[in-house]
Amino acid sequence: MGTTTDPDRTDREQTDSDRIDPELTEAFADSMLERAVGAMSLFGISIGDRLGYYDALAAAERLTSAELASTTDTHERYAREWLEHQTVTGVLTVENPDADAPDRRYALPESYAPVLCDAESLSYLAPLASLLPTVAATFEDLLEAFKTGEGVPFTAYGDACHEEIAAMNRPAFLAQLGPEWLASIPDVDARLRDGGRVADIGCGHGWSGIGVAEHYPEAIVDGYDLDAASVARANENAAARGVDDRVTVHHRDAGDPTIEGDYDLVMALECVHDVADPVSVLETMGRLAGDDGAVLVVDERAGESFTPEGNEIEPLIYGFSVLHCLPVGTADEPATGTGTVMRPDTLSEYASAAGFDSVEVLPIENLFFRFYRLHR
């Protein structure tokens, strides 16, 4: 049987080979290994966060694996493996590395405690790691959403997801929302000091409303959220902080046109990009603010336009968008499908469609958030 040859094949193979830079290939392969190490390290941090390992280590100068397991009611062999993993990934230190495994004593550097243990520190980032298992749990649903264009309901991510999202926002909402952000808007600050009324749209666990109430002791806050579990937790949090006489969270759709009120401030913090129909939500916000109330939207500080390199936070917020915010925002109909990376022009389009005349970007500096005031 004879054979035939393609005279152009060798040339094509040579051309393909010329396009491949072995150094770039090797560098990218190395980066893949680094990414895998980083991802696994974050899962390890989530284990330490969820099981109370970091709190136990912070409370003691140093612990053996048996002492850590006993303190946290966990198994020594697993605790030992976790301690060693945390050490080789640079989170923990070990006092006596040459000792037998059961005798090694591990410590959490004091400077790391605000990041991993202090739930009200502005450096607190443990919830960022603990979000990963919640999105991993919906991965098959997410793949199906990519195929169909449908969404993944917020409830599919489980209670741990909204717990960690709330924990991530809690420090800034308690420490910065009132004293820094709202205080920098003179007319809003004055109204709230005189006992103004606030509508907190998409309030989650209520830390934003609580932050307002704690800084402005005369203000009254009504929170609104569609997730029943978050609403329950928000009212519990308000009671625990002693502001439940002035902070009440309602189980309502933020876009519900029947919500009534006359508010001095209507705010939506880090949620407009998540809702299926942002225009209806902004319409409700405008109606609740009436002629004299202020409308404030705080959302991610995405770049003003797409660039291949992105800005400082876009690699992170695009990750959130792919894994959570876009599928959640397309789970209900009609769905706009905004995603986490909501740029200023996009919000301006929504605001215009909702009846606002202009959108002002407020001069508040923050790495993660941009502050918009909507005017009618």
User: Quick check: 219 and 246 in contact, CB under 8 A?
Assistant: yes
The confidence score (pLDDT) of residue 1 equals: 47
The confidence score (pLDDT) of residue 255 equals: 75
**One domain for residues 139 and 107:** no
CATH number of the domain that residue 312 is part of: 3.40.50.150
Asked if residue 157 belongs to a domain, the reply is: yes
- Mean pLDDT across 251-267: 88
Asked if residue 154 belongs to a domain, the reply is: yes
Q: How many CB atoms lie within 10 A of CB 47?
A: 20
The confidence score (pLDDT) of residue 259 equals: 83
- Domain boundary among the residues 85, 117, 149 is at 117
Among 179-183, 258-262, 308-312, 363-367, which is the least confidently predicted range?
258-262
Please, what is the average pLDDT of the chain?
94
Q: Where are the beta strands (DSSP E) in the chain?
A: 93-94, 106-107, 197-201, 220-225, 247-251, 265-269, 294-300, 358-361, 369-375
- Mean pLDDT across 147-165: 95
pTM: 0.91
- Domain boundary among the residues 117, 141, 176 is at 117
**One domain for residues 100 and 167:** no
In the chain, the number of structural domains is 2
pLDDT, tens digit, 9 for 90 and up, residues 9-35: 555 555 666 789 999 999 999 999 999
The confidence score (pLDDT) of residue 10 equals: 58
Q: How many CB atoms lie within 10 A of CB 24?
A: 9
Query: Rounded distance, CA 269 to CA 192, Å?
Result: 17
Q: Is residue 311 over pLDDT 60?
A: yes
Q: How many CB atoms lie within 10 A of CB 184?
A: 14
The confidence score (pLDDT) of residue 134 equals: 92
Query: Rounded distance, CA 210 to CA 75, Å?
Result: 38
Asked if residue 137 belongs to a domain, the reply is: yes
- Domain boundary among the residues 84, 117, 150 is at 117
Half-sphere exposure at residue 102, Cβ-oriented, CA atoms within 13 angstroms: 4
**One domain for residues 189 and 278:** yes
303: its two tokens: 């770049």
User: Quick check: 272 and 282 in contact, CB under 8 A?
Assistant: yes
**One domain for residues 97 and 36:** yes
277: its two tokens: 């129909």
**One domain for residues 307 and 350:** yes
**One domain for residues 82 and 181:** no
* Sequence-separated (6 or more) residues with CB below 8 Å from residue 185: 294, 296, 362, 373
**One domain for residues 199 and 329:** yes
The alpha carbon dihedral of 53, 54, 59, 65 has a sign of positive
**One domain for residues 166 and 41:** no
User: Quick check: 326 and 318 in contact, CB under 8 A?
Assistant: no
Half-sphere exposure at residue 219, Cβ-oriented, CA atoms within 13 angstroms: 30
Asked if residue 7 belongs to a domain, the reply is: no
Q: Which of 51, 47, 44, 55 is nearest to 117 (CA)?
A: 55
pLDDT, tens digit, 9 for 90 and up, residues 39-96: 999 999 999 999 999 999 999 989 999 999 999 999 999 999 999 999 999 999 999 9
pLDDT, tens digit, 9 for 90 and up, residues 358-373: 999 999 999 999 999 9
pLDDT, tens digit, 9 for 90 and up, residues 187-204: 999 999 999 999 999 999
The confidence score (pLDDT) of residue 15 equals: 61
Q: How many CB atoms lie within 10 A of CB 133?
A: 17
pLDDT-based confidence at residue 6 (cuts at 50, 70, 90): low
pLDDT, tens digit, 9 for 90 and up, residues 319-372: 999 999 999 999 998 899 999 999 999 999 999 999 999 999 999 999 999 999
**One domain for residues 64 and 158:** no
CATH number of the domain that residue 103 is part of: 1.10.10.10
**Residue numbers of the domain that contains 167:** 133-375
**One domain for residues 311 and 252:** yes
DSSP letter for each residue of 295-359: EEEEEE---SS--TT--SSHHHHHHHIIIIIHHHHTSSSS-----S---HHHHHHHHHHTT-SEE
pLDDT-based confidence at residue 260 (cuts at 50, 70, 90): confident
- By percentage, how much of the chain surpasses pLDDT 70? 95
Q: Is residue 136 over pLDDT 70?
A: yes
pLDDT-based confidence at residue 256 (cuts at 50, 70, 90): confident
**One domain for residues 208 and 318:** yes
The confidence score (pLDDT) of residue 13 equals: 56
Q: Which of 155, 126, 131, 133 is nearest to 327 (CA)?
A: 155
Query: Rounded distance, CA 272 to CA 169, Å?
Result: 15
Asked if residue 167 belongs to a domain, the reply is: yes
**One domain for residues 150 and 106:** no
